[in-house]
Structure 1
Amino acid sequence: MHIKYFITLCFFLIISEISSQVKLNNANVRNTGKTFDGDSSFTKRSNGYDKLASIDMYLQFNNEKDTISVDTTLSIKKEYKFNYLQKDNFGLMPFANIGQTYNSLSFDVIKNETNPLFGARARHFNYIESDDIKYYEVPTPWTRLTYKTAFEQGQMLDAFFAINLSKQINFSIAYKGLRSLGNYQNALTSSGNFRFTSNYKTKNERYKAKGHIVMQDLLNQENGGILDEDIENFVSGEEDFIDRSVFDMSFENGESILIGKRFFFNHSYDLIKKKDSLNKNRLAIINEISFEDKYYQYWQSSPSNSYFGDSFTNDINDKVTLEDFKSSLGIEYYNNILGNLKFELSYTDINYGYNSLVIFPDETVPNRIKSNFISADAAYSKTINSITLNSKAGLNLSDEFVGSFIDTDLSLRLNKDIQLSGGLIINSRLPNYNFLLYQSDYINYNWYNFEDFRNINIQQLKFKINSDKYINATIDISNIENYTYFNLDERNAENIKIIKPEQYNNSLQYLRLKVQKEFRLGHFALDNTIMYQNVVSDIDVLNVPAIITRNTLYYSNQVFKKAMKLQTGVTLNYFTKYNMNGYDPLLAEFYTQNETELGGFPRLDFFINAKIRQTRIFFKAEHFNSSFTGYDYFSAPNHPYRDFTIRFGLVWDFFL
């Protein structure tokens, strides 16, 4: 769907709703007697009634039922989240063009998965998972438009619309589209993320249902980065090479696309309903159904044998699919003394693979991994005064897809300013599908390890202190067994990279400490986030920088008689040198390499942000120091980071 078509659709939906919206029930709207204060705190009814809806009545919640109010304020956290992913990307190193991948500067443990994940993980940063979906309850129609300029002949737009048809039923529809040509040859990105959500509850709230439909297509042209012999020309900063389009890329005919469709539905019915404080019990039956169909495809009009090695054909067209169906049935019991207990059984059916076999003289690579199995999950939570315990566990009842997890967290609120928490994560699951089975028209990219690779076992201890007044800090210590990774195994006689999946049979230990603190003096503030990391292993299989830091010095104030909030400052991003992971465009995966050390360069961004009524405006000079601190900046080996550029964007909320 093109962006312009979706904008037109949203426009007619809004116009239609203005004409048909009816008066809210008095119980659902606050009559505060206040007028609109310019900070989206109160919104007048579109039908002319005197009743006003306050901003805290616009609610959003996820599948875990965590509910928060819609936030339309302007803060430094909004500056960090105003990007393509629309979330804080600390610890991620973007590539040159928006919509390309990110190099991860730290390692995040996968907590609650018992099954392998679909491959092409480098393309999943903007792939919306079920946990990313939000559901809404709004007293009046709400529209949000998010826009940001891209690189050369493109833009990003996210259009969102939510409405409550009644107190019982809500729906939302949204589409995020991007097209950006980029500054290097064959670096076009084009993506679309369509989301539709709905949630319903009966008047007595015994029956509740929610569901979503998500359709996504993420297309990237692939070029393999600049040639080895051109790296010196890039680093030199000579004027002839400032125009990045003059660089010859490793190849200029590659494209990849990730397509996904997901249908999700969850509903529950209270067999015993907790009516008031005297009724201490609640018993509900829950059913959840999810189906996801996705595929990753890579094609080239002619093979790049000097980059990937020999090929079977002269027309490269690799395509892998996954059909993942899951249905669960469970019960949830609540007692104000015992706490909240949930148990469910799930049926999973998986079909992953390719359309044909690959036959070598001494080996046959099969084309499918199929399985169906039962799994069991349980959860428990309890709050006693200021202490909260949350625990989850899952187990696959399968001989092939062996997997389990335990995730427990205990938190203690000492006072209104300090909250302490600690937890334990134990996870065991198979490596991702593309480690187990991969086929390609390139000869080197064919393997089958389903019977050879063992489960990845992770044990992690984590501790956290949350205190905006004093300090926010997180420390986690992980022990990882059978760590699985793509490795730059060797370079053959023609200097072609041989990249293979490998398992590290010994255990490694990974320590991560993250500290955040903001210092304020009048209208000035200094926000600091620093992460320290250390990996202990016999060989270098997991490479991360020792230090990652982000420091923002900024000024904020109300100006023009408080008609506008202004925020301006400078952000420094930096990480120490290390053997940065390389990027393989065929796999759409990052691989471990110990040949090239990168990093150690500062990135300075100057920003001016403003909020006028319900509109937030963002202006940024990105990497403005690129010309005077040296051109030795890369997102991955052979992939330069973006140069100095000026970008503009806005977030516009409409409350009708």
Structure 2
Amino acid sequence: MSKFFIFLTFIFFINSYSQRNTLRGEGLGVSNVSDKSQKKVKDTTSYEKAPIDLYKIYTLQKDTTYVDTSLTIKSEYMYNLLRKDIFGLLPFANEGHTYNSLDFALSSKNAMPSFGFKAKHFNYLEATDIKYYNVPTPLTDLYFKTVMEQGQALDAFLTVNTKPNLNFSIAYRGLRSLGKYVNNLTSSGNFRFTSSYYTIDKRYFLNAHFTGQDISNQENGGIVNLQEFETSEDPFNERERIKVYFTDATSLLKGNRFFVDHSFKLNKENPNSLVFTHQFNQEYKFFEFTQPTVNERFGDTYTNKISNKTRYNHLYNKFGVAYKTKSYGDLEFFIDDNNYNYYYNSVVYDINGNITVPNSVSDRINMIGGNYTYLINKINVRLHTSQSITDQSISNIEASANYKLNDDYNFQFKYQKLNSLPNLNFTLYQSGYIDYNWFNNFKNEKLNQFEFSAQTKLLNVSATYKVLNDYLFFDNQTNNITELTVKPIQYDKTINYLSVKANKEIKFWKLALDNTILYQSVEQSDDIVNVPQIVTRNTLYFTDYVFKKAMLLQTGVTFQYFSKYYANDYNPLIGEFYVQNETKIGGFPMFDFFINARVRQARIFLKAEHFNSAWTGYDFYSAPNYPYRDFIVRFGLVWNFFR
């Protein structure tokens, strides 16, 4: 965490230096940004602020938004470690540990095999999660939030345009939280650096980033005796007195990535022109589980201490040529090269000396495909298709249409047909625990998915329908929570999944009631995809200006609930959730009381989380033997600095 404070000091120094330069009419004055803002600097001591919509944020898909310093109910929902609305995710007791998925529609899959260890990746920023910026003056974003015990969550970000066409950003997210239970410390760091550039004639565009991330969790395996938690009588109301399975186990996910996406337009004069594109991604990561004292819960071992380390190297190149027109849309053809090596430093032999589990899975996959985008009237159509040209039989077809009638009515439809390779930890895994060694040759997973969403003045609604074949999952072979022999399984039957989510905010005077409800249904021969039928979140809140309109105040109560179901349980050894059909969780209410305020660009948050925990019974769990959070008061802020 000391690295973070050094970084924070650096940001304040750069920000204050930029402010002094701007006030003097030097360096990054607003006059460098655009024609409509060139005359805002009136002299060397007085100036007008740049409009907020000039502080742009965009993704690789060129979806563009701008910096939002408002205080709305969405600000409340996004005030968490992931900095996004986590409706459909159920956090574990300690900040930054993991999340159980209540909304199966949130799960996604790529045609290419991923590293796996999905339970450890919620706080891991993928290449598509990185944002790029273009700002008229230096912009700083500071996030702070208290945690459960002995630590804090901090996220500091700075972006600056040294020229109108050249942007840099640097950010670091740091977390340390001891937690309330034994052996439950979380510690993580997410460093990212981005750069964006385009030539004055706008023929060449470049977006690049570097990330260095490490996510460390002490793993206690959950509580041993549920009665100790559910009675919560002295001394077990002090959570460190409750017995847990492991007292010295730790997991670590660490990765570095360098990413470049750039394009060059052949003809600068003609709007109908060829554009050459290239994308490069080089990433190394590993997942490590260490346990100095072996535990019989995972079965017999090869050694007297556990140190499992899974490594992954990934090199990706994508080359494309696009023809962009004003009248007929944009057409692109591409070929990509996906080279990966997933490996260990050992092999596993049987009693006859034959290798049963190799040390690596390596492959090189080439795909060809195309993209087409066309805007006709108010309908934006996008088509994507890709197919492997090497030995692997994988493919992806996507189609979407977006119809925006006006600012009040927007409709979207998506379809995807995917034939994908299994994640690599389904294929190969090695461990000091004998039962956790496997090498499989699974079939490809097949997915057909339909999505529809409508945003209207009356109601926001979205629906997802999935048809899954050859679905892969982890399953406990013992059907006993005290003995975990979890292995990957492929389901040979069809699974049909349907979800419908609706959202509506009702406003009256200075009061508002924001409602979100999710309905889910699964058709399957066996209980493989288990989901709660109903998930709901309802917030009643009051908003008004106080102190002669110097402060905007927002206060209210949020109610959350999901129906009982056989929730997936968490296995820290493999960093994955597994299917179980012995213990149901859910059916408990969660009430949060919050008071938020906004003073200029500073937003202050105070929340009493799960304040009803002692009144409604200690039967609340995030997974079958992992308790949800007790009542806790937390506070913090988000502060933006301009100039």
Query: Does TM-score exceed 0.5, indicating one fold?
Result: yes
Q: Amino acid of the residue matched to residue 602 of structure 1?
A: P
Task: Verify the 8 A CA contact 2:118 2:575 in the aligned structure 1.
Answer: yes
Q: In structure 1, what is the equivalent of residue 227 of structure 2?
A: 232
The reply to whether residue 481 of structure 1 matches residue 469 of structure 2 is yes
Q: In structure 2, what is the equivalent of residue 390 of structure 1?
A: 382
**Displacement after TM superposition at 1:344 (Å):** 1.1
The reply to whether residue 459 of structure 1 matches residue 448 of structure 2 is yes
Task: Verify the 8 A CA contact 1:114 1:396 in the aligned structure 2.
Answer: no
CA displacement 1:568-626 (0-9 Å, x = unmatched)? 00001100000011100101100000000111001000000000011000000000000
Question: Which of 159, 162, 186 in structure 2 is aligned with 1:189?
Answer: 186
Q: In structure 2, what is the equivalent of residue 221 of structure 1?
A: 218
SS state at 2:493 partner: strand
Question: Which of 435, 442, 453 in structure 1 is aligned with 2:426?
Answer: 435
**Displacement after TM superposition at 1:24 (Å):** 4.2
**Displacement after TM superposition at 1:491 (Å):** 4.7
**Displacement after TM superposition at 1:48 (Å):** 3.2
Question: Which of 289, 292, 299 in structure 1 is aligned with 2:290?
Answer: 299
Q: In structure 2, what is the equivalent of residue 528 of structure 1?
A: 515
Q: How does 1:140-179 map to 2 (within 5 A)?
A: 140-179=137-176
Question: Which of 401, 405, 409 in structure 2 is aligned with 1:410?
Answer: 401
Q: In structure 2, what is the equivalent of residue 545 of structure 1?
A: 532
Q: Amino acid of the residue matched to residue 359 of structure 2?
A: N
SS state at 1:642 partner: coil
Task: Verify the 8 A CA contact 1:31 1:52 in the aligned structure 2.
Answer: no
Task: Verify the 8 A CA contact 1:32 1:52 in the aligned structure 2.
Answer: no
Q: Amino acid of the residue matched to residue 353 of structure 1?
A: Y
Q: In structure 1, what is the equivalent of residue 343 of structure 2?
A: 353
Q: How does 1:107-118 map to 2 (within 5 A)?
A: 107-108=104-105, 113-118=110-115
Question: Which of 496, 509, 522 in structure 2 is aligned with 1:509?
Answer: 496
**Structure 1 residues 357 and 12: CA distance shift in structure 2, 3 A:** same
Q: How does 1:601-640 map to 2 (within 5 A)?
A: 601-640=588-627
**Displacement after TM superposition at 1:46 (Å):** 11
Task: Verify the 8 A CA contact 2:30 2:50 in the aligned structure 1.
Answer: no
SS state at 2:463 partner: strand
**Structure 1 residues 207 and 254: CA distance shift in structure 2, 3 A:** same
SS state at 2:163 partner: coil
**Unaligned regions of 5+ residues in structure 1, if any?**
35-43
Measured in 2, the distance between the counterparts of 1:95 and 1:510 equals: 25
Runs ≥4 residues deviating over 3 A: 15-21, 23-27, 29-34, 44-49, 108-112
Q: In structure 2, what is the equivalent of residue 40 of structure 1?
A: none
CA displacement 1:54-82 (0-9 Å, x = unmatched)? 11110011111111111111100110000
Measured in 2, the distance between the counterparts of 1:615 and 1:318 equals: 44
The reply to whether residue 125 of structure 1 matches residue 116 of structure 2 is no
Query: TM (normalized to structure 2)?
Result: 0.96
Larger deviation: 177-186 or 353-362?
353-362
CA displacement 1:391-427 (0-9 Å, x = unmatched)? 2222222214x32111111122334321222221111
The reply to whether residue 257 of structure 1 matches residue 246 of structure 2 is no
Q: In structure 2, what is the equivalent of residue 371 of structure 1?
A: 363
**Unaligned regions of 5+ residues in structure 2, if any?**
none
Q: Amino acid of the residue matched to residue 343 of structure 2?
A: G
Measured in 1, the distance between the counterparts of 2:43 and 2:154 equals: 26
Task: Verify the 8 A CA contact 1:30 1:52 in the aligned structure 2.
Answer: no
CA displacement 1:329-377 (0-9 Å, x = unmatched)? 1112112222111111111111002111011237610111111131123
RMSD of aligned residue pairs (Cα, Å): 1.9
SS state at 1:131 partner: helix
The reply to whether residue 586 of structure 1 matches residue 573 of structure 2 is yes
Larger deviation: 415-424 or 99-108?
415-424
Task: Verify the 8 A CA contact 1:601 1:632 in the aligned structure 2.
Answer: yes
Task: Verify the 8 A CA contact 2:33 2:136 in the aligned structure 1.
Answer: no
**Structure 1 residues 370 and 599: CA distance shift in structure 2, 3 A:** same
Q: Amino acid of the residue matched to residue 444 of structure 2?
A: N
Measured in 2, the distance between the counterparts of 1:416 and 1:52 equals: 27
**Displacement after TM superposition at 1:327 (Å):** 1.0
**Structure 1 residues 157 and 109: CA distance shift in structure 2, 3 A:** closer
Task: Verify the 8 A CA contact 1:475 1:513 in the aligned structure 2.
Answer: yes
Q: Amino acid of the residue matched to residue 181 of structure 1?
A: L
Task: Verify the 8 A CA contact 1:114 1:394 in the aligned structure 2.
Answer: no
Task: Verify the 8 A CA contact 1:226 1:639 in the aligned structure 2.
Answer: yes
Larger deviation: 326-335 or 616-625?
326-335
Q: In structure 1, what is the equivalent of residue 558 of structure 2?
A: 571
Measured in 2, the distance between the counterparts of 1:26 and 1:8 equals: 27
Measured in 2, the distance between the counterparts of 1:608 and 1:655 equals: 25
Q: In structure 2, what is the equivalent of residue 38 of structure 1?
A: none
Larger deviation: 353-362 or 97-106?
353-362
Query: TM (normalized to structure 1)?
Result: 0.94
Q: Amino acid of the residue matched to residue 499 of structure 2?
A: R
Q: In structure 1, what is the equivalent of residue 280 of structure 2?
A: 289
**Structure 1 residues 13 and 137: CA distance shift in structure 2, 3 A:** same
Q: In structure 2, what is the equivalent of residue 12 of structure 1?
A: 13
Q: How does 1:54-133 map to 2 (within 5 A)?
A: 54-108=51-105, 113-133=110-130
Larger deviation: 474-483 or 100-109?
100-109
Q: In structure 1, what is the equivalent of residue 305 of structure 2?
A: 315
Larger deviation: 363-372 or 293-302?
363-372
Measured in 2, the distance between the counterparts of 1:47 and 1:14 equals: 18
SS state at 2:565 partner: coil
**Structure 1 residues 46 and 354: CA distance shift in structure 2, 3 A:** farther
Measured in 1, the distance between the counterparts of 2:642 and 2:86 equals: 29
**Structure 1 residues 531 and 272: CA distance shift in structure 2, 3 A:** same
Task: Verify the 8 A CA contact 1:112 1:406 in the aligned structure 2.
Answer: no
Q: Amino acid of the residue matched to residue 252 of structure 2?
A: I
Measured in 2, the distance between the counterparts of 1:361 and 1:594 equals: 35
Task: Verify the 8 A CA contact 2:220 2:247 in the aligned structure 1.
Answer: yes
Measured in 1, the distance between the counterparts of 2:124 and 2:228 equals: 35
SS state at 1:79 partner: helix
Larger deviation: 121-130 or 552-561?
552-561
- Percent pairwise identity: 45
SS state at 2:74 partner: helix
**Structure 1 residues 535 and 164: CA distance shift in structure 2, 3 A:** same
Measured in 1, the distance between the counterparts of 2:166 and 2:298 equals: 53
Q: In structure 2, what is the equivalent of residue 28 of structure 1?
A: 34
CA displacement 1:224-257 (0-9 Å, x = unmatched)? 0110xx2012112323211101011101010010
Q: In structure 1, what is the equivalent of residue 391 of structure 2?
A: 399
Q: Amino acid of the residue matched to residue 528 of structure 1?
A: N
**Displacement after TM superposition at 1:33 (Å):** 9.4
